[in-house]
Chains A and B, each alone.
Chain A
Amino acid sequence: MADSSPSAAALEPRGRKPKKTFSRANIFLYGTLIMVSMYYLLPLYVMVVTSLKGMPEIRMGNIFGPPMEITFEPWVKAWSEACTGINCDGLSRGFGNSVRILIPSVLMSIVIASVNGYALANWKFKGSEVFFTILIIGAFIPYQTMLYPIVIMLREIGLMGSIWGLVLVHTVFGMPILTLLFRNYFASVPEELFKAARVDGAGFWQIYFQIMIPMALPIFVVAIILQVTGIWNDFLFGVIYTKPATYPMTVQLNNIVNSVQGIKEYNVNMAATLLTGLVPLIIYFASGKLFVRGIAAGAVKG
């Protein structure tokens, strides 16, 4: 909101004259934006409101109405009692699995991709660009074409169904975009710096650890944001490469909500949905501009 100061507005005379806040065009503009905002905010509002109501109130009332009596029971139930099949230990198990998948996946994918990007930007070798091009094209290939060969590979190394197998899959599929991110960043580092370090006798790893990493901290944060939200939100790989005991949270959530047995408890379902969405939402609201930078980095492919 820095641009609301009159001096800034006076410096940049774009579009209409500043200070005419209540012109017809402005009313139309804000009206549209507020209307659209409602469409975007409605689901979040409905989820929160529903998750705080009791079932009798949901059956009688209006899904847009605020809860008459706030209850946190649905949240407790979603976390520790909701059933998938015969297991009734709630989403906490999926949460645990997701965390155990998330941490090694994020670390591994970022370490590997940053080294890749560094090698591609500063230590080009014969064929390096070819491999990189294949990697980037690979990001566009539908995952479905690679699903089954990966099943075979994971079976061969004995990781099928385990958390580590899924970690490997996330590392592989995170690689194109992260490598691109790091490669572009390292390529923008002034070459003189790199040359000076080489003249001083620094080798591959020394330059990486002592010069590149300290300079690239912001891009590491961007990569972490990108990976945490991406891996946490994954459903496809989770449902294929893990078994019920190691299902990540998204898969378990879907199984809880879309299970056909029993009475539908919409408040518990919405609490469970919110619980699953909480981690990426916190990341999103906490990271602000960096999140935008992360997705913008994802946008400039090629």
Chain B
Amino acid sequence: MTVVSDPRPRSAKRPSRLFKNWMAKIASLPMILTALVVFLGGTAWTVTYSFTGSRMLPRAKWVGLDQYERLWDTDRWIISIKNLAIYGSCSMILTLVLGFSLAACLDRKIRFESAFRTIFLYPFALSFVVTGLAWQWILNPDFGLQSVVRSWGWESFAFNPLNDPNTVIFGLLIAGLWQGTGLIMCIMLAGLRGIDEDIWKAARVDGIGTVKTYVVVIIPMMRPVFITALVMIASGIIKLYDLVVAQTGGGPGLASEVPAKYVIEYMFRAQNLGQGFAASTMMLCSVVIILIPWAYLEFGGRKRG
């Protein structure tokens, strides 16, 4: 066992090294195929065909940037982008703030911590469809929250986000936050638990208050956790689709349309593949824009540290 570091002399009897590597290569074949054919190939295919005039079936008839010009001339796409921007920025800020605050509360050595954690996290186990339908019912103007508050005597109370084009996005936000903050809270809590107890002692010795310690000391220390959380929230926001389909169906009118829904409608309902490809390529671009700074922060930071 002491000469483990050099097993080569004995390897003559066993199958050659090349053969062993072949085994690993064959075993990795599903991964290689997925990475190259589906992920890389599929993405390249979609981007390529976004420059064609494909309608019902993909056809290699090049039209240059026509699809993109048409895309940015379509009201529905502009509305989708605006909606995603509003939903995304609100969701990003509120999820981080709520997630961190809840994690900080749970980290204060409280009783029933695991009970609270279970309560905050259970919606994450549920699908967006279930989330959307549950909140659709609670926000139902005739039977839900609004009617209950009115029946308590506040006759003029109005809270009907799902039927108001101006506020429907906030109706989605309530449901989205309900589903997603638990996850971020969990990640933040794990980050807080990783902070050295001595930091707290030092802060106490220096007479820094609890809140100030969090803001000035702890949050900067948790930068990697925040970045991870940010990337997770962002990639979730771009995928936003099921929740909208279930909760509002994109309505009222087009008021709660989102890009992912636009892509699917154009590809599979409107028989306008080229538009769908162009829109999905735009989605890809936005992800790349998010990923590059993240990769820079993540790997650039590691080099420095």
A interface vs B, CB < 8 Å? 1, 3-4, 9, 12-16, 18, 26, 29-30, 32-33, 36-37, 39-44, 46-47, 50, 58-59, 62-64, 112, 115-116, 118-120, 123-125, 128, 131-132, 134-135, 137-138, 140-150, 152-153, 171-172, 175, 179, 192, 195-196, 198-199, 201, 203-205, 229, 232-236, 240, 250, 253-254, 257-258, 266, 269-270, 273, 276-277, 280-281, 283-285, 288, 291-292, 295-296, 299-302
- Whether the Cβ atoms of B125 and A229 lie closer than 8 Å is yes
- Whether the Cβ atoms of A147 and B120 lie closer than 8 Å is no
With A131-B35, A146-B46: A204-B137 Cβ-Cβ less than 8 Å: no
Q: How far is the CB of A177 from chain B (nearest CB, A)?
A: 12
Our pick among B37, B133, B232, B238 for the contact of A142 (Cβ within 8 Å) is: B238
Our pick among A131, A141, A280 for the contact of B127 (Cβ within 8 Å) is: A280
> Does B219 count as interface, using CB distance less than 8 angstroms?
no
Tell me the bound Cα distance from A236 to B158 in angstroms: 34
Q: How far is the CB of A22 from chain B (nearest CB, A)?
A: 12
- Whether the Cβ atoms of B127 and A143 lie closer than 8 Å is no
What 10 A-B pairs have minimum CB-CB distances, sorted nearest first? A138-B39, A233-B127, A123-B24, A149-B42, A284-B125, A144-B280, A146-B42, A134-B35, A204-B23, A235-B242
Our pick among A4, A118, A257 for the contact of B133 (Cβ within 8 Å) is: A257
Contacts of B120 in A (CB 8 A): 36-37, 40
Can you sample 20 A-B contacts with CB below 8 Å?
A3-B109, A18-B109, A39-B178, A40-B178, A47-B134, A119-B27, A123-B27, A134-B36, A143-B239, A147-B280, A149-B41, A171-B30, A233-B127, A235-B245, A257-B133, A266-B143, A281-B122, A299-B190, A299-B228, A301-B228
Contacts of B147 in A (CB 8 A): 63
> Does B138 count as interface, using CB distance less than 8 angstroms?
yes
- Whether the Cβ atoms of B28 and A131 lie closer than 8 Å is yes
With A32-B105, A295-B183: A62-B137 Cβ-Cβ less than 8 Å: no
> Does B32 count as interface, using CB distance less than 8 angstroms?
yes
Tell me the bound Cα distance from A134 to B38 in angstroms: 11
B136-174 interface bits toward A, Cβ cutoff 8 Å, 1 = contact, 0 = none: 111010011101100100000000000000000000000
- Whether the Cβ atoms of B197 and A236 lie closer than 8 Å is no
**A128, closest chain B residue (CB):** B28
Our pick among A149, A196, A250, A253 for the contact of B1 (Cβ within 8 Å) is: A196
With A192-B4, A233-B128: A3-B39 Cβ-Cβ less than 8 Å: no
Our pick among B130, B137, B200 for the contact of A276 (Cβ within 8 Å) is: B130
B interface vs A, CB < 8 Å? 1, 4-5, 7, 10, 14-15, 20-21, 23-25, 27-28, 30-32, 34-43, 45-47, 49, 58, 102, 105-106, 108-114, 116-131, 133-138, 140, 143-145, 147-148, 151, 178, 182-183, 186-187, 190, 197, 200-201, 210, 228-229, 231-232, 235, 238-239, 241-242, 245-246, 249, 260, 263-264, 267-268, 273, 276-277, 279-281, 283-284, 287, 291, 298
Q: How far is the CB of A12 from chain B (nearest CB, A)?
A: 7
- Whether the Cβ atoms of B246 and A254 lie closer than 8 Å is yes
Beyond A137-B291, A138-B40, A233-B130, 7 extra complex contacts between A and B, CB < 8 Å: A147-B280, A153-B37, A192-B4, A232-B127, A254-B246, A276-B127, A284-B125
Tell me the bound Cα distance from A72 to B108 in angstroms: 43
**A169, closest chain B residue (CB):** B38
Contacts of A196 in B (CB 8 A): 1, 4
- Whether the Cβ atoms of A43 and B31 lie closer than 8 Å is no
**B122, closest chain A residue (CB):** A284
Tell me the bound Cα distance from A235 to B58 in angstroms: 25
Tell me the bound Cα distance from A132 to B64 in angstroms: 33
Q: How far is the CB of A281 from chain B (nearest CB, A)?
A: 6
**B98, closest chain A residue (CB):** A36
Contacts of B183 in A (CB 8 A): 295, 299
Contacts of B133 in A (CB 8 A): 253-254, 257, 269, 273
Q: How far is the CB of B150 from chain A (nearest CB, A)?
A: 11
With A147-B267, A204-B23: A132-B124 Cβ-Cβ less than 8 Å: no
- Whether the Cβ atoms of A283 and B125 lie closer than 8 Å is yes
- Whether the Cβ atoms of B112 and A1 lie closer than 8 Å is yes
Tell me the bound Cα distance from A196 to B10 in angstroms: 13
- Whether the Cβ atoms of A62 and B287 lie closer than 8 Å is no
**A295, closest chain B residue (CB):** B183
With A62-B151, A63-B143: A40-B23 Cβ-Cβ less than 8 Å: no
- Whether the Cβ atoms of B260 and A142 lie closer than 8 Å is yes
Our pick among A37, A146, A257, A300 for the contact of B39 (Cβ within 8 Å) is: A146
Contacts of B114 in A (CB 8 A): 1
**A298, closest chain B residue (CB):** B232
- Whether the Cβ atoms of A58 and B143 lie closer than 8 Å is yes
Our pick among B108, B126, B140 for the contact of A233 (Cβ within 8 Å) is: B126
Tell me the bound Cα distance from A58 to B142 in angstroms: 10
Tell me the bound Cα distance from A62 to B140 in angstroms: 12
Tell me the bound Cα distance from A32 to B103 in angstroms: 12
- Whether the Cβ atoms of A300 and B138 lie closer than 8 Å is no
